[in-house]
Amino acid sequence: MKDLQFISSEKTPEVFLSKESNRFSILGRSIPDNPVSIYGPITEWLAIYSDSPNEQAELEVYLEYFNTSSHKFLLEIIVQFASINSNHSICWLHEEDDIDLIEIGEQIAERYDITVNFREKLP
């Protein structure tokens, strides 16, 4: 399966999804003009990956800022990834004092009943 990779920009996150290296991440800012152009390929890639997933995997998510439309797609991707099997979890990266971002991760975990591991983002 081919990796999916997007280089970050001022408005879009870095995306790296690799079954072979077992690395899955969405990192940066997400305020794209057209969120479907970023998040559509991710949901399509995950749909294919879910047919033959790795036994265990973790999606790292760190978005220093994201808009409402990105939030909708991000939720869809997190739920899609976490529901692949019980050994797929989310790593919610955050700055030490970013209470808002921590609360968003906690709300996602509670609302969708998924495993979210919280880790402080290293500088």
* CATH topology (fold) of 4-120: Transcription Regulator spoIIAA (3.30.750)
- Structure-token match 């009943």, residue found: 113
pTM here?
0.94
Give per-residue burial for 80-107: e unless 16+ CB within 10 Å, then b.
bbbebeeebbbbbbbeeeeeebbebbee
**Dist CA 59 CA 116 (whole Å):** 10
**Dist CA 31 CA 28 (whole Å):** 10
The pLDDT of residue 67: 95
The tens place of each residue's pLDDT in the chain, 123 residues long, gives 999 999 999 999 999 999 999 999 999 999 999 999 999 999 999 999 999 999 999 999 999 999 999 999 999 999 999 999 999 999 999 999 999 999 999 999 999 999 999 999 987
